[in-house]
């Protein structure tokens, strides 16, 4: 037992000695939380649009000023002719052009209806769709206020309720995803170099000829990264609570135990990589470059999994972060209890057992 | 100049010696470019819906069948109460609940309006808002086709003030997401390969100890850096070509704008990117250190570059950081040339940024590479 503690201390020295390891371990989570909390948003704000007003009458001016007043758009002057639109799009200075045809007002009153044309830059289709929706909503709003007779006499209206997220806090969806992503990548990458480093430097031989049991070497490697990852997780939790004001609804004990389980899964995976490779470079190429995009995609926090082709949905099942993401959403954001996540927990336990078994099997205590 | 020739010969031999790394540099981006964009799909189709119908009238039945036939929704359950439906949201099988209150039909016919409740699982923000918007448009359509509306509207003289909004998406009439994401992923993969490989390069000579041998030769600093840069530049251009071929063969995306200009831009971008990698390499002592630093920056570059979310919607400080990452500008250039056919005068600002990055990063790398320790 005392031997083990000495070895664990040695591993801690390794981690704290290198500022770059600390940068990955603690710098990355902080930066990611800040970026996802404050910088990245899937909503559209400050979209640059152009208004091409061929009639310039009371109604078009009123609609224009209504659009200008909304925080979604920045109106970039008013173009006078059609060919100019193409130039604006090609330079990428505007995302959308709103065109009022000539005689807008007289059409509206004498013919009963007038046309408005919206031309969007479809090279960014999601932004284009959102802008079209926003503009349509602003115009229908104007129409309802000023021409109530043009609306339908019988109407079903909807009363939307945003469950779990009344303030429509956009970072809410990202935070469990970032947690899963960071723990998965950082924990796996750091563990994956731990044993292969000893192999590369030749110190593995020293460890193996010592009276210290070989399995204890693995445990001594895993413990520091486990503890550091738990600290890391606590840090992310504190940041999202105090900086992003995300209410943690669920049981903290459950959340911590589930996270400990997930960290164990990642550690086992890291140890497996470390035991099966012979160079740190290979280990890192697998755990960082190879894993980065699959983890980002198959966790399901940026792109909904249900939309993917069947085969990808199947592949996503073997990515541990997918299951952890589901658990964190349920426990942390919805405040649900264990009986809602026992299946996912079981999957993670199974994965950990399997990965650990293969890692141990590949742990060679003899030199070739 | 002759010295540079020998250096290049050495670098190419080193690269071709390790066939697995070479295969990885070409194969990994190709495979990822084929797979990843298919997984990145924002076109939300199957929204799971739970319905609580407490009215059981003709109108409520019509509304439900209209929602079912719209093609966007998948009916998960018909529940007796809201509490029961909420269970489906809690265990994640349902995304939204539609609640039709008792007296729905009576109120609609007598009072002309009736509210129905929609509860969405708002943790998944994009799905919630898109699902809510779809449901609203289905209901608006249902309103317009209501029999009582059909009867009353024609008897009125055409009411004034109806605004008919038409819209069109230029460059991408069907608003398909692949046109947006495929060029972005191409840039991303080029960045991953170029950034990681060049970051590992000089530091490997340090680790193996061969850098000492180079340092004692009369090779100039700029010759050494150039000797490192050119082979990776050529590999980068090959990766880019393979990527463009995949875009055409798999996704049917062909550059609208001039191809030589696209290549010229890629060439300049690669110089800037490789300069960044070499700079990291000169600041590290081991390959692991170099990879950690490269990983840290590349992950930030990816998120800030506007690949997934638009840069314009970011707050001012984030837009400032975004402008300081070369990836942002190259993604913008590639999308503009490939999708819209923008010309040189349209992209001059972005080009200016990339040129500046190329000069600063490479100059810095040459300056920081010390031949004496």
Residue B355's pLDDT band (cuts 50, 70, 90): very high
Contact check, Cβ <8 Å, B177/A129: no
Phi then psi for B206, rounded to 5 degrees? -65, -45
Contacts of A306 in chain B (CB under 8 A): 46
Beta-bridge partners for B79: B52
Phi then psi for B68, rounded to 5 degrees? -65, -35
CA distance B218 to chain A (A): 31
Q: Which of A24-38, B86-100, B175-189, B228-242 has the highest mean pLDDT?
A: B228-242
At residue B352, does pLDDT exceed 90?
Answer: yes
Contacts of A152 in chain B (CB under 8 A): 143-144, 146, 149, 153
At residue B213, does pLDDT exceed 70?
Answer: yes
Q: Is B133:B44 a contact under the CB 8 Å cutoff?
A: no
Of A24, A33, A37, A304, nearest in space to A185 by CA = A24
Q: What is the rounded distance in angstroms from the CA atom of residue A354 to the CA atom of residue A272?
A: 10
Name the packing angle between helices A291-298 and A171-182 (round to 10°). Answer: 140
Share of chain A above pLDDT 70, in %: 94
Task: Look at residue A367 in the predicted model and tell me its pLDDT.
Answer: 62
Share of chain A above pLDDT 90, in %: 11
Residues 6+ apart with CB under 8 A from B259: none
Task: Look at residue B157 in the predicted model and tell me its pLDDT.
Answer: 47
Q: What is the rounded distance in angstroms from the CA atom of residue B264 to the CA atom of residue B337?
A: 12
Task: Look at residue B244 in the predicted model and tell me its pLDDT.
Answer: 93
Task: Look at residue B354 in the predicted model and tell me its pLDDT.
Answer: 92
CA distance B248 to chain A (A): 17
Over residues B276-284, mean pLDDT:
88
At residue A162, does pLDDT exceed 80?
Answer: no
Over residues B317-329, mean pLDDT:
89
Contact check, Cβ <8 Å, A120/B303: no
C-alpha torsion angle, residues A133, B141, B179, B249 (rounded to 10): 180
Task: Look at residue A37 in the predicted model and tell me its pLDDT.
Answer: 80
Q: Which residue of A has its CA nearest to B162?
A: A113
Beta-bridge partners for A52: A79, A99
Pairs of residues, one from chain A and one from chain B, whose beta carbons lie less than 8 Å apart = 320
Q: Is A270:A194 a contact under the CB 8 Å cutoff?
A: yes
Task: Look at residue B263 in the predicted model and tell me its pLDDT.
Answer: 94
**Given strand B96-100, what is the order of strands in its sheet?**
A155-163, B113-121, B96-100, B47-53, B73-79
Phi then psi for A117, rounded to 5 degrees? -115, 135
Which residue from A113, A170, A334 is facing B125, i.e. has the nearest CB?
A170
Task: Look at residue A112 in the predicted model and tell me its pLDDT.
Answer: 76
Q: Is A48:B312 a contact under the CB 8 Å cutoff?
A: yes
Of A258, A262, A263, nearest in space to A337 by CA = A258
What domains are defined for chain B?
Answer: 7-40+176-368 (no CATH), 47-155 (3.40.1710.10)
Q: What SS3 class is residue B114?
A: strand
At residue B330, does pLDDT exceed 60?
Answer: yes
Category of B43 on φ-ψ map: left (φ > 0), alpha (ψ -120 to 50) or beta? beta
Return residues 214-243 of A near B (CB < 8 Å): none
Of A284, A281, A274, nearest in space to A221 by CA = A274
ipTM of the complex as predicted: 0.77
Q: Which residue of B has its CA nearest to A32?
A: B300
Of B182, B143, B183, nearest in space to B59 by CA = B143
Contact check, Cβ <8 Å, B169/A128: yes
Beta strands in A13-62 (DSSP E): 47-53
Residues 6+ apart with CB under 8 A from B299: A28, A32, A292
At residue A166, does pLDDT exceed 80?
Answer: no
- For B126-178, how does the pLDDT look when each residue is reduced to its tens digit (9 = 90+)? 677 677 778 888 888 888 777 666 655 444 444 566 777 778 888 887 777 78
CA distance A246 to chain B (A): 11
- For B216-256, how does the pLDDT look when each residue is reduced to its tens digit (9 = 90+)? 888 888 888 888 889 989 989 999 999 999 999 988 888 88
Q: Which residue of B has its CA nearest to A98?
A: B167
Q: What is the rounded distance in angstroms from the CA atom of residue A68 to the CA atom of residue A29?
A: 38
Of A167, A173, A158, nearest in space to B126 by CA = A173
Contact check, Cβ <8 Å, B296/A28: yes
Q: String of b and e for A108-140 (b: at least 16 CB within 10 Å)? A: beeeeebebebbbbbbbbbbbbbbbbbbbebbe
Phi then psi for A256, rounded to 5 degrees? -65, -40
Q: Is A221:A212 a contact under the CB 8 Å cutoff?
A: no
- For A303-335, how does the pLDDT look when each residue is reduced to its tens digit (9 = 90+)? 777 778 888 888 889 999 999 998 998 888 888
What domains are defined for chain A?
Answer: 2-40+170-361 (no CATH), 47-150 (3.40.1710.10)
Q: Is A320:A348 a contact under the CB 8 Å cutoff?
A: yes
Pick from A88, A123, A280 the residue to mutate for testing the B interface (most B CBs within 10 Å): A123
Pick from B155, B160, B197, B203 the residue to mutate for testing the A interface (most A CBs within 10 Å): B160
- For A87-122, how does the pLDDT look when each residue is reduced to its tens digit (9 = 90+)? 888 888 888 888 888 888 888 888 778 888 888 888
């Amino acid at each position: 037992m005392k031997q083990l503690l000495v070895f664990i201390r040695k591993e801690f020295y390794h981690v704290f000695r290198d500022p770059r390891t600390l940068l990955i371990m603690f710098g990355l989570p902080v930066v990611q939380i800040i970026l996802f909390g404050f910088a990245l948003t899937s909503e559209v704000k400050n979209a640059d649009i152009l208004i091409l007003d061929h009639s310039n009458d009371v109604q078009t001016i009123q609609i224009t000023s209504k659009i200008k007043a909304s925080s979604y758009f920045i109106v970039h002057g008013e173009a006078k002719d059609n060919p100019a639109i193409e130039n604006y799009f090609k330079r990428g200075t505007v995302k959308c052009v709103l065109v009022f045809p000539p005689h807008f007002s007289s059409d509206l009153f004498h013919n009963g209806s007038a046309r408005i044309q919206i031309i969007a830059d479809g090279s960014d289709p999601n932004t284009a769709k959102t802008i079209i929706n926003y503009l349509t909503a602003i115009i229908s709003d104007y129409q309802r206020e000023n021409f109530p007779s043009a609306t339908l006499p019988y109407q079903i209206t909807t009363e939307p309720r945003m469950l779990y997220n009344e303030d429509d806090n956009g970072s809410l969806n990202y935070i469990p995803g970032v947690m899963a992503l960071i723990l998965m990548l950082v924990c796996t990458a750091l563990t994956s170099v731990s044993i292969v480093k000893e192999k590369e430097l030749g110190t593995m031989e020293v460890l193996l000829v010592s009276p210290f049991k070989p399995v204890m070497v693995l445990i001594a490697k895993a413990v520091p990264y486990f503890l550091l990852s738990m600290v890391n997780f606590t840090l992310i939790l504190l940041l999202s609570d105090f900086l992003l004001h995300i209410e943690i609804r669920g049981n903290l004990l459950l959340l911590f135990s589930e996270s400990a389980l997930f960290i164990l899964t990642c550690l086992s995976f890291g140890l497996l990589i470390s035991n099966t490779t012979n160079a740190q470079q290979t280990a890192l190429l697998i755990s960082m470059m190879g894993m980065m995009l699959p983890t980002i995609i198959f966790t399901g926090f940026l792109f909904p999994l249900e939309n993917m082709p069947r085969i990808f949905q199947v592949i996503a099942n073997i990515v541990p972060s997918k299951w952890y993401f589901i658990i964190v959403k349920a426990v942390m954001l919805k405040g649900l209890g264990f009986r809602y996540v026992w299946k996912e927990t079981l999957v993670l336990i199974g994965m950990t057992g399997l990965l650990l078994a293969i890692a141990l099997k590949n742990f060679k205590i003899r030199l070739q | 100049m002759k010295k540079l020739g020998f250096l290049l010969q050495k670098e190419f031999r080193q690269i071709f010696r390790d066939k697995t790394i070479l295969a990885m540099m070409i194969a990994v981006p190709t495979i990822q470019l084929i797979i990843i964009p298919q997984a990145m799909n924002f076109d939300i189709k199957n929204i799971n819906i739970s319905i609580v119908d407490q009215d059981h009238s003709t109108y409520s039945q019509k509304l439900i069948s209209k929602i079912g036939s719209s093609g966007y929704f998948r009916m998960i359950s018909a529940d007796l109460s809201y509490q029961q439906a909420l269970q489906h949201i809690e265990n994640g099988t349902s995304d939204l609940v539609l609640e039709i209150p008792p007296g729905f039909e009576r109120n609609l016919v007598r009072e002309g309006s009736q509210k129905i409740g929609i509860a969405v699982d708002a943790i998944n923000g994009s799905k919630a808002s898109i699902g809510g918007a779809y449901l609203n448009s289905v209901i608006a359509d249902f309103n317009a086709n209501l029999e009582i509306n059909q009867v009353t509207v024609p008897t009125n003289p055409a009411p004034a003030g109806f605004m008919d909004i038409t819209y069109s998406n230029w460059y991408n009439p069907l608003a398909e997401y692949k046109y947006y994401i495929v060029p972005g992923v191409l840039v991303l993969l080029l960045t991953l390969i170029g950034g990681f490989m060049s970051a590992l390069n000089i530091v490997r000579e340090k680790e193996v100890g061969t850098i000492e041998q180079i340092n004692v030769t009369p090779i100039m600093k700029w010759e050494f850096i150039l000797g490192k840069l050119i082979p990776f530049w050529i590999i980068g251009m090959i990766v880019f070509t393979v990527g463009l071929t995949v875009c055409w063969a798999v996704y049917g995306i062909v550059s609208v704008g001039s191809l030589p200009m696209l290549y010229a831009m890629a060439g300049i971008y690669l110089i800037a990117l490789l300069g960044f990698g070499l700079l990291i390499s000169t600041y590290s002592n081991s390959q692991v250190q170099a990879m950690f630093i490269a990983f840290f920056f590349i992950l930030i570059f990816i998120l800030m570059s506007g690949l997934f979310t638009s840069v314009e919607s970011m707050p001012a400080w984030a837009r400032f950081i975004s402008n300081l990452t070369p990836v942002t500008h190259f993604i913008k250039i590639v999308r503009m040339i490939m999708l819209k056919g923008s010309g040189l005068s349209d992209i001059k600002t972005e080009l200016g940024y990339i040129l500046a990055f190329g000069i600063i990063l490479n100059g810095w790398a040459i300056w920081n590479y010390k031949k004496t320790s």
